[in-house]
Copies of this chain bind each other. A is one copy, B any other.
Amino acid sequence: MKTKILTLLKNTDSYLSGQDLCNQFGVSRTAVWKAINQLKEEGYVIEAVPNKGYSLKECPDVLAYSEIKSVLTSKWAGQELFCFDTIDSTNTKAKQLAEEGANHGALVVSDNQSGGKGRRGRSWESPVSTGIFMTLILKPSLNPSDASMLTLVMAIAVAKACNKLTKDSCFIKWPNDIVLNRKKICGILTEMSAEMDYINHIVIGIGINVNMDTFQNELKEKATSIKIENGYPVKRAELINQVMLCFEEEYEIFMMHHTLEAQKERYNNMLVSLDKEVVIMEPSKEFIGIARGINSKGELMVEKEDGQMMAIYAGEVSVRGIYGYV
C-alpha cells in the first residue's frame, strides 16, 4: 500500500484526501497515516493540510522498492524487482535468483555493493547511496553464441538514458563502457548460464556513477559521475526507469533478427572512438588503427595502416584511444 500511496502522490498535482485513500484501499485512517509516516521517515517531505489532504513536496534520492516502483513506467523490464541496501554483487544475487525461478525482466537493485565485480573478477568501487548498481535478468530464446550482443544493446540503452540528463554528451567506449566528457560513468558486465544450444539465463549488470562528488587517486583521471559533470545531482530511481524504458525498446529491435544490423548505426553514432585512432592491445602485441564502428555482430571494425579492415572480437583484445582511456 505504501508503494501505491507514493505512486498516487507522485501523480497528483494537488492534494490527496486521506478519506479517499481509505476508501480506495479499504483501510482505516490509521493505516493511511502509518504509511504516510513511514514515507516521511524514509525522507519524503509530505505536507498534510486539514480538509485538503496530503501533498508530496520533496522526494529523497533513495533506491527503495517503493520509490523505484512508483516511478517505473516500463512494460516488463524491472517490474519484478528486488531491492537491497547493500549486497555482495548484484550479478551474483541475480544469478542465484534466476536459478531459483526469477522471471525474464526481473531486476536486482542495490544502493551499495560490497563486492562489486568488473570484468574477469576485477573489483569495482561502490560508494554508498551515490551510484546505481543493478542487474537485469533475461531468459531469451536466443542462441548462446548471440548472447554477447546483448551487452551492446544495453550499452545503447544506458547511453540513451544518460543522454537525456547530459545533453547528449555520453558516448560508448566499445564494447561495454559509457563515457561522459571522455571519462567513464558506466560499466556493463554480462554473464550467461547456458547449455550447448540453450540459454538458461543471462544477467546484465550495470554500474552507473550518478551522484559521486569525487574519485580517488588514479580513478580521478579515468572516472567521473553525472553529478560532477552536470554540477547537480540526479534522482537515481528516475534514471533506472529511463534505462529500463530504453532497454525494452532496444531489446525488442534486437530480438527481431538476433543481429545488430538495425542498431549499429545508432551505436556507431555514439561510439567515442568513431573514425579516430585507437590502440588495439592483443595479448602478444599492440597496433594502431582507425575505429570504423561495429558490424552487425557487434565486432569493432578497425582499419589498419595498410588499409585492411579487421574485425575485433571482445576477446583477449582491448582497445583504447591513443592518448589514454578513450
Closest to A200 in B: B191
Closest to A188 in B: B196
Contacts of A175 in B (CB 8 A): 196
Contact indicator A151/B196 (Cβ below 8 Å): yes
Residue A126 CB within 8 A of the other chain: no
Q: How far is the CB of A88 from chain B (nearest CB, A)?
A: 11
Q: How far is the CB of A183 from chain B (nearest CB, A)?
A: 23
Residue A315 CB within 8 A of the other chain: yes
Alpha-carbon gap, A96 to B326, bound state (A): 38
Interface hit among A52-60, A102-110, A141-149, A237-245: A141-149
* A144, A192, A197: residue with the most chain B Cβ atoms closer than 10 Å: A197
Interface of A is mostly: mixed
Contact indicator B143/A197 (Cβ below 8 Å): no
* A145, A175, A176: residue with the most chain B Cβ atoms closer than 10 Å: A145
Residue A314 CB within 8 A of the other chain: yes
Closest to A91 in B: B195
Q: How far is the CB of A163 from chain B (nearest CB, A)?
A: 23
Closest to A143 in B: B315
Q: Mark A253-278, 1 if CB is under 8 A from B, else 0.
A: 00000000000000000000000000
Alpha-carbon gap, A191 to B192, bound state (A): 10
Closest to A205 in B: B195
Contact indicator B315/A119 (Cβ below 8 Å): no
Contacts of A197 in B (CB 8 A): 148, 313-316
Closest to A151 in B: B196
Contacts of A192 in B (CB 8 A): 144, 192-195
List 17 other contacts, CB 8 Å, given A144-B148, A144-B192. A95-B99, A95-B193, A119-B195, A119-B198, A120-B195, A143-B315, A144-B144, A148-B196, A148-B197, A190-B195, A190-B196, A191-B193, A191-B200, A192-B193, A192-B195, A197-B314, A197-B316
Interface residues of A (CB under 8 A from B): 92, 95, 99, 119-120, 143-145, 147-148, 151, 175-176, 189-198, 200, 313-316
